A and B are shown apart, each in its own frame.
Chain A
């Protein structure tokens, strides 16, 4: 049975005002105009991934990091307060499947992997900050990179 995380969040943070999850009435949708094997796909993770000496994330941080797609595992690190990061620190592909996406580009499952990949720290209380500040910057990046679609991996 899938875990019901909305009530669990309420219980876990019972000392605080109940979090108001985003509730949308419908899903926005842009059909792809070509098969994924011909698409440029961007990787985006909210798991709090940083490359080399990029600044560490902190609470209420709505910034993002640009991660070169040829980054080695030992050049990546993880900071997030909202999930146990131990496994992601051991193998970042748990929440930021960079190596897997490179393989899928090499074997033609996707057309290409957009360089760079992106990460932010998804434990941001303000949905408004994400919608009005963080998301538009990433959308601009994806448009500049001619991405056809992006793959968002939360954590």
Chain B
């Protein structure tokens, strides 16, 4: 699966399926199981369809038909949300692990 077609063209995996979605959504937007299922199902069918090495199948799905501005900002400076500081991250991790030790 890929949303970065230039990287995939450089790396050349055996087979690939491309969908033009922002990074972090290669198999679909959150909470849209029907669209996710179509994408993953298309990817599975590509196993049968692709017979030439390095073929990239492009899927027709559009992230937002009315607004393509994400293409201008994805993976540019200022686009990545700030990460929590190390102290806060360590605290969150301790809470995550404690949740499952209790569970």
* Contact surface of A with B, Cβ cutoff 8 Å: 1-6, 8-9, 11-12, 21-32, 35-36, 39, 41, 47, 52-53, 56, 75, 77, 81, 83-88, 90-91, 93-97, 99-101, 103-104, 109-110, 149, 151-155
Contact present for B10 and A95 (CB under 8 Å) = no
Which of A9, A35, A47, A100 is within 8 Å of B40, CB to CB? A100
Q: How far is the CA of A68 from the CA of B20 in the complex (A)?
A: 29
Contact present for A2 and B26 (CB under 8 Å) = no
Contact present for A100 and B33 (CB under 8 Å) = yes
Contact present for B47 and A86 (CB under 8 Å) = no
Contact present for B76 and A52 (CB under 8 Å) = no
- How many interface residues does chain B have, given as a range? 35 or more
Which B residues, 1 to 36, have Cβ-Cβ distances below 8 Å to chain A? 1-7, 10-15, 18, 20, 23-31, 33, 36
Set of chain A residues within 8 Å of B45, measured between Cβ atoms: 36, 109
Q: Is the interface of A mostly helix, strand, loop or mixed?
A: loop
Contact present for A12 and B10 (CB under 8 Å) = no
Q: How far is the CA of A122 from the CA of B43 in the complex (A)?
A: 20
* Other 10 A-B pairs with CB < 8 A, given A83-B24, A100-B41: A3-B3, A5-B75, A8-B76, A21-B11, A27-B12, A36-B44, A84-B24, A100-B37, A109-B45, A154-B2
Set of chain B residues within 8 Å of A97, measured between Cβ atoms: 27-28, 36, 39-40
Set of chain A residues within 8 Å of B103, measured between Cβ atoms: 52
Set of chain A residues within 8 Å of B81, measured between Cβ atoms: 84, 86
Count A-B pairs with CB separation below 8 Å.
158
Given known contacts A87-B25, A87-B29, A3 and B75 CB-to-CB distance under 8 angstroms: yes
Which of B27, B31, B47, B71 is within 8 Å of A153, CB to CB? B27
Instruction: For the complex formed, measure the closest distance between the CB of A37 and the CB atoms of chain B, giving whole angstroms.
Output: 8
B43's nearest neighbour on chain A, judged by CB, is A151
Among A30, A56, A93, A152: residue with most chain B CB under 10 A: A93
Contact present for A155 and B11 (CB under 8 Å) = no
Set of chain A residues within 8 Å of B37, measured between Cβ atoms: 100, 103-104
Which of A5, A32, A77, A94 is within 8 Å of B6, CB to CB? A5
Asked whether B85 is an interface residue with its Cβ less than 8 Å from the other chain, the reply is no
Which B residues, 64 to 89, have Cβ-Cβ distances below 8 Å to chain A? 71, 74-77, 79-81, 83
In order of increasing CB-CB distance, the 6 nearest A-B pairs are A27-B54, A29-B53, A91-B30, A53-B100, A36-B47, A27-B12
